[in-house]
Structure 1
Amino acid sequence: MNYRHSFHAGNSADVVKHSLLIALVRALQQKQGALTLIDTHAGCGLYDLGGEQAQRTGEAAQGVLRAFAGSTPVLNDYRAIVGAVNVGAEPRLYPGSPQFLAHLLRPQDVLILNEKHPEDAAALRGVMRGTLAAVHERDAYELWLAMLPTRTGRGVVVVDPPYEQADERARITGTLAAAHRKWAHGVSMIWYPLKDRATHQRWKGDLRRLGIPKFMSVEHWLYDADQPGIYNGAGLFIVNPPYAFTQALPPLLEALRDALAPEGHRGRITATWLDQQG
């Protein structure tokens, strides 16, 4: 599945991913020790919701615009970060994960961004100018391992690939296994699309066999039944989620499900431990 982000910026997957990313980083920041935040597939950093690519899909209407139309205070932090790059009540621009992470930085924290595509990397440097982010332009999986263990001891690695390559899942699995050996206590968040249930179940089996103890799977299914051949939703694998994050999840997940359910569908969003799944 090809998932070039400029076509999908601000969709339901972004709302879930970025809401959970905020909650994850905030939970880790309950301790004063410095964090290193690493984004392996950082993209451009900022997306025009009125641009040709975003308009071609129109997915923001079922994502960020629905989140802004609601009033639940559970999504206030998410709305605040999106609102910070916009003027007016309705978002015209959408921040990528690098800007969400930059907004969450404390003085003691470190932000490392990586984008392999030269044009996107150049755009990212422009967007992040004036911040303390370090921007790299190299293979995402090589960078992931090269940055571990982080100098600050604690940190988060965000892995959000476009799934353009047939071996993307295999590379994630292999790199995660190596990363866990180098940095067993580190936190990782891996985004994935939900389209082919059989492929996804095989991948979850591969990941389960890695034997990583604290491995959570969050899945957001948009429709009440699978819609064959189309995008059905997205999920996140989270390694070593902190206790404060897991405790805050139930109301956040319910707010996201309610805000993003397509008309005529209730939708479903779940958080389960990978080793407890059948």
Structure 2
Amino acid sequence: MNYRHSFHAGNSADVVKHSLLIALVRALQLKEGPLTLIDTHAGCGLYDLGGEEARRTGEATQGVVRAFADTNPLLDDYRAAVRAVNAGAEPRLYPGSPRFLAQLLRPQDFLILNEKHPDDAYALRGAMRDTSAAVHQRDAYELWLAMLPPRTARGVVVVDPPYEQTDERARITATLAAAHRKWAHGVTAIWYPLKDRATHVRWKAQLRKLGIPKFLVVEHWLYDSDQPDIYNGAGLFIVNPPYAFTQALPPLLEALRAALVPEGHRGKMTTDWLGD
């Protein structure tokens, strides 16, 4: 499945992913100790919702546009982060994960970004030039392991690949296993699309075999039943989520479900512990 982000910026998956990312980092920041935030597949950093690629899919209308039309205060932090990169009231630009993470940085925190694609890496450097982020252009999985353990005791690794390669899930599984051996207490958030349920069930079974404790699965299903051969939603695997995050999760997920549900469906947000 090709998920080049410029085609999908601001869609429902982005709203969920970035809302949860804000909540995750803020939960970790309840403690004063510094954090290292690492984004392995950073993309361009900033996306034009009026650009040709975004307009071709029109997915932002079912994502960020719906979130902005909603009034639930639990989505205020997300909306504020999007407004921060826009001059007007309506979103014309959409921040990728690097810009969301940069907004969350405290003086004691560090942000490390990586993007292998040359054109995207060039765009990323431009989008992040007003931040303290370090930008790399390396293989994502090599960088993931090379940066662990980070210079700070705590941190988050965000893994958000386009799933263009047939071995993407296998590389994530192998790298996660090695990363957990190097940094067992670290927090890792892995984004994935929900399209082929059978493939996803097999992948979860492989991840369960890693025996990693505290492995949370959060999934957003758009439709009431699977729609064959189309995008059905997305999820996050979160290793070692902090207690404050998991406690705040149920009302936030309900707010996201209500804001993003397609017409004629109820949709659902699910959480589960892998291996339980």
**TM-score (normalizing by structure 1):** 0.99
Which residue does 2:45 correspond to in 1? 45
Amino acid at match of 2:46: L
SS in 1 for 2:6: helix
Residue 73 of structure 1 and its aligned partner are, at CA, apart by 0.3
Report how far residue 198 of structure 1 moved: 0.2
Counterpart in 2 of 1:62? 62
Query: 1:92, CA displacement in angstroms?
Result: 0.5
Return the alpha-carbon distance in structure 2 between the equivalents of residues 230 and 218 of structure 1: 20
Provide the rounded CA distance (Å) in 1 between the counterparts of 2:88 and 2:265: 30
Amino acid at match of 1:142: E
Question: CA offset at residue 199 of structure 1?
Answer: 0.1
In structure 1, the residue matched to 2:4 is 4
Deviation at 1:43, TM superposition (A): 0.2
Structure 1 CA distance for aligned equivalents of residues 159 and 249 of structure 2: 20
The residue matched to 1:275 in structure 2 has which SS?
A: coil
Query: Which residues of structure 2 form unaligned runs of 5+?
Result: none
| Map of 1:199 onto structure 2 | 199
Give how far 1:88 is off: 1.7
Whether 1:137 aligns to 2:150 is no
What per-residue deviation string (whole Å, max 9, x for no partner) do you get for residues 38-93 of structure 1?
00000000000000000000000000000000010000000000000112221010
Question: For each residue in 1:79-126, what CA deviation from the matched residue of structure 2 results, as whole angstroms up to 9, or x when unmatched?
Answer: 000000112221010000000000000000000000001110011001
Kindly indicate whether residue 244 of structure 2 is the aligned counterpart of residue 244 of structure 1. yes
Deviations 1:158-191 (A, max 9, x none): 0000000000000000000000000000000000
| In structure 2, C-alpha distance between the alignment counterparts of 1:152 and 1:18, rounded to whole Å | 23
Distance in 2, matches of 1:88 and 1:179, equals 42
Q: What residue number does 1:261 align with?
A: 261
Match of 2:128 in 1: 128
| Residues in 2 aligned to 1:143 and 1:131: alpha-carbon distance in whole angstroms | 21
Tell me which amino acid in the other structure corresponds to 1:243. Answer: Y
Percentage of identical aligned residues:
83
2:272 aligns to what? 272
Give, as a single letter, the amino acid of the residue that structure 1 aligns with 2:99: Q
Q: How many angstroms does 1:271 deviate by?
A: 1.2
1:240-271 Cα shifts (integer Å, max 9, x gaps): 00000000000000000000000000000011
User: Where in structure 1 are there 5+ consecutive unaligned residues?
Assistant: none
Mapping of residues 1-278 of structure 1, within 5 Å: 1-276=1-276
| Aligned residues between the structures | 276
Q: Which amino acid aligns with 2:139?
A: D
Aligned to 1:245, the other structure's residue is in SS state: helix
Q: Could you state the TM-score of these two structures normalised by the residue count of structure 2?
A: 1.00
Q: In structure 2, give the amino acid aligned to 1:93.
A: L
- For 1:47 and 1:125, how far apart are their aligned partners in 2? 13
Instruction: Give, in angstroms, the shift of residue 132 of structure 1.
Output: 0.5
Deviation at 1:33, TM superposition (A): 0.2
Larger mean CA deviation between 61-70 and 86-95 belongs to 86-95
- After the TM superposition, list the runs of 4 or more consecutive aligned residues in structure 1 that deviate by more than 3 angstroms: none
Aligned residue for 2:275, secondary structure, equals: helix
Q: Name the CA distance, whole Å, in 1 between partners of 2:154 and 2:86.
A: 32
Indicate the larger mover: 166-175 or 81-90: 81-90
1:229 Cα deviation after fit: 0.5
Cα deviations across residues 183-228 of structure 1 (Å, max 9, x unaligned)?
0000000000000000000000000000000000001000000000
CA distance in structure 2 between the aligned counterparts of 1:209 and 1:44, rounded to whole angstroms: 34
Q: Which amino acid aligns with 1:64?
A: V
